[in-house]
């Protein structure tokens, strides 16, 4: 990341830049990548940089051949010390909403456990892929709290209300195969191929017009009552763009050559 836009040094994240994308690896292996206050602050720094310089974001976790870990939830020691005022700050929910609102798509490459806040981080991504050893779950009610960082509404949107209620009321965990069957994840890949699969998705996104991608993401996030007006306004912007003319001219030229 731009040194002016990130703390020095990052202590809970590993960051790799690759032109049109940024790959962020959650890196607290000693705590199963639990999301603590430092990680929250560092992810906000990543968001600030991507808001200024929009690029695709890939989020993954430190894993080993023997054990996959995306994020094992929020840091329970810190949660135990939080009270009403901290809950009202929405510490994790504000971060995950900010990630969901990033201008360009967010891809979560999930290997191993994605539990509690870790699952909610994955739910905030635009596209999720996983390894066969991945497990999603929200056990918050067993700890006397609720899944307040997005699962109580994002999960229902992603997998449907009946399954979301079962997960949130009973603590049921979803295997990778179940997550694929309910379309919580788009595809499954071997652990050592997962990041390459995420990069391949990013490659396909990068082939599209960046402004068209950004506006498509905004339109998808708009409330139903805003349609079709928001679609038409976004299309009006794109119809006047230089990229639209150039890309359509290139398409017509290819069509002419192949005919």
CATH code of the domain containing 18: 3.90.226.10
d(CA 84, CA 146): 13
Q: What is the pLDDT of residues 214-244, one digit of tens each?
A: 999 999 999 999 999 999 999 999 999 999 9
What pLDDT is stored for residue 6 in this prediction?
A: 47
Rounded to whole angstroms, the Cα distance separating 161 from 158 reads: 9
Task: Looking at the structure, tell me whether residues 144 and 74 fall in a common domain.
Answer: yes
41 plus 77 within the same structural domain: yes
Both tokens of 217, joined, read: 């993401």
The string of pLDDT tens digits covering residues 7-32 is 468 999 999 999 999 999 999 999 99
107 in Cβ contact with 126 (< 8 Å): yes
How many Cβ atoms from other residues are within 10 Å of residue 142's Cβ? 9
Quote the number of domains for the chain. 2
Domain shared by 121 and 220, yes or no: no
Does residue 168 sit in the same domain as residue 40? yes
161/159 Cα distance (integer angstroms): 7
Mean pLDDT of 83-102: 91
In the chain, DSSP assigns E strands to 13-17, 21-26, 56-61, 69-71, 106-110, 113-115, 127-130, 135-137, 174-175
Among 166, 182, 206, residue at a domain's last position: 206
- Nearest by Cα to 65 from 117, 131, 12: 131
Do 214 and 111 share a structural domain? Answer: no
Please check the confidence at residue 106 and state whether its pLDDT lies above 90: yes
Q: Which residues are catalytic?
A: 120, 140
Regarding whether 221 and 152 lie in a shared domain, the answer is: no
- 206, 229, 244 — which closes off a domain? 206
Are both 8 and 68 inside the same structural domain?
Answer: yes
Structure confidence at residue 63 (pLDDT): 83
- What pLDDT shows up at residue 75? 73
Q: Are residues 125 and 193 in the same domain?
A: yes
Q: Is 114 in the same domain as 12?
A: yes
Same domain, 234 and 181: no
Which residue range forms the structural domain that includes residue 151?
3-206
Q: Do 152 and 252 fall into the same domain?
A: no
pLDDT digits (tens, 9 = 90+) for 26-72: 999 999 999 999 999 999 999 999 999 999 999 999 988 788 999 98
Yes or no: say if 131 and 68 are a contact pair by the CB < 8 Å rule: yes
Hey, is 96 helix, strand or coil?
helix
Q: Are residues 24 and 79 in the same domain?
A: yes
């Amino acid at each position: 990341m731009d040194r002016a836009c990130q703390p020095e040094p990052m202590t809970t994240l590993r960051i790799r830049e690759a032109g049109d994308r940024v790959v962020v690896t959650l890196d607290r292996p000693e705590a199963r990548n639990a999301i603590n206050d430092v990680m929250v602050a560092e992810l906000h720094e990543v968001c600030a940089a991507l808001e200024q310089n929009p690029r695709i974001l890939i989020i993954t976790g430190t894993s080993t051949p023997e054990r996959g870990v995306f994020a094992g939830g929020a840091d329970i020691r810190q949660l135990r010390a939080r009270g009403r005022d901290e809950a009202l700050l929405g510490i994790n929910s504000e971060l995950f909403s900010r990630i969901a609102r990033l201008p360009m798509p967010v891809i979560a490459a999930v290997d191993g456990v994605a539990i509690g806040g870790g699952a909610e981080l994955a739910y905030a991504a635009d596209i999720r892929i996983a390894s066969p050893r991945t497990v999603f779950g929200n056990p918050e009610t067993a700890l006397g709290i609720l899944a307040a960082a997005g699962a109580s509404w994002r999960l229902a949107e992603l997998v449907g209300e009946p399954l979301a209620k079962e997960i949130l009321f009973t603590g049921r965990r979803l295997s990778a195969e179940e997550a694929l069957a309910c379309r919580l994840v788009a595809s499954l890949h071997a652990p050592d191929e997962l990041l390459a699969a995420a990069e391949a998705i990013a490659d396909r996104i990068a082939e599209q017009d960046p402004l068209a991608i950004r506006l498509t993401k905004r339109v998808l996030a708009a409330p139903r009552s805003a349609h079709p007006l928001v679609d038409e306004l976004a299309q009006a912007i794109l119809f006047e763009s230089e990229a639209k003319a150039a890309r359509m001219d290139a398409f017509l030229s290819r069509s002419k050559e192949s005919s």
